Amino acid sequence: MSRRDNNEGLDHWQLIEQSLSQLSTRLDRIETRLNQLETQRDRQVVLNERRSIDDSGFGSREISTTPQGAIQRDILIGVCDICKKRLYDDEAFRICSSCGRRLCASPSQCSVIYQNKTICIECLKTRFIQLNKTLYKTLVCTANEVSSTTAISEITHSVEEEVRSALKRLIDLGLITKRGFFVFSAYQVTARGMEAIALYRQVWGSDYDTLVFDAELRRYILQKSGVVL
């Protein structure tokens, strides 16, 4: 082999080596670029979802596009106006026939059926039969023929003065009537009073203090009738 042949052979190897080196550099650049694109794609917001309470309706979905080209999905969630429990699309709900509040369906303490109409508990308390818990417990006592203010005071854990004003208020509301005079007087529940008990039992019947009250009233009645506990 001549010296020239040797030089030509060396040039070929150098060229191949140079080309491979360039190819490797290009591959590195491509890989770097791909990584950059990948990172950018991760950061790009493609779908944005927002959830908020629907103040005026029963919930809805809206899909729109942002100026950046992303998809914006707005989900408005309907909730019960009293207890704020979520109203799901496939669940029954109620509307107060008096104020139009959206209400969760039965079983619920948020509404009652009054005179064949759905009434929310707020309307029941403020517009129809204005009871608070002391009035309710006093009413239940009189419905069970407990007329002594001392006894009602013990059972309801209220001071006697409070019981006296509760009895007066119940008379004014037409839920009880007073019969007899002085120590011989007794209270009698009216038909409207019985209706009030049935309505409010749905609302407060399972509250802890009401359950305690029921138990104490039962014990008082049993003791009065001579049953030894």
The site for Zn ion (CB under 5 A) is made up of 80, 82-83, 85, 96, 98-99, 101, 104, 110, 120, 123
Distance, in Å, from the CA atom of 94 to the CA atom of 97, rounded to the nearest integer, reads 9
Q: Is 30 exposed, middle or buried (0-12, 13-18, 19+ CB in 10 A)?
A: exposed
> Quick one: 82 or 141, whose CB is closer to Zn ion?
82
CB of 128 to Zn ion, least distance (A): 10
CB of 213 to Zn ion, least distance (A): 24
Using omega within 30 degrees of 0 as the cis cutoff, is the peptide bond preceding 67 cis?
A: no
> Quick one: 96 or 196, whose CB is closer to Zn ion?
96
CB of 115 to Zn ion, least distance (A): 14
Distance, in Å, from the CA atom of 165 to the CA atom of 159, rounded to the nearest integer, reads 10
CB of 51 to Zn ion, least distance (A): 20
> Quick one: 50 or 85, whose CB is closer to Zn ion?
85
* Range list of β-strands (E), the chain: 47-53, 59-65, 71-77, 93-95, 102-104, 111-114, 117-120, 176-179, 186-189
> Quick one: 87 or 217, whose CB is closer to Zn ion?
87
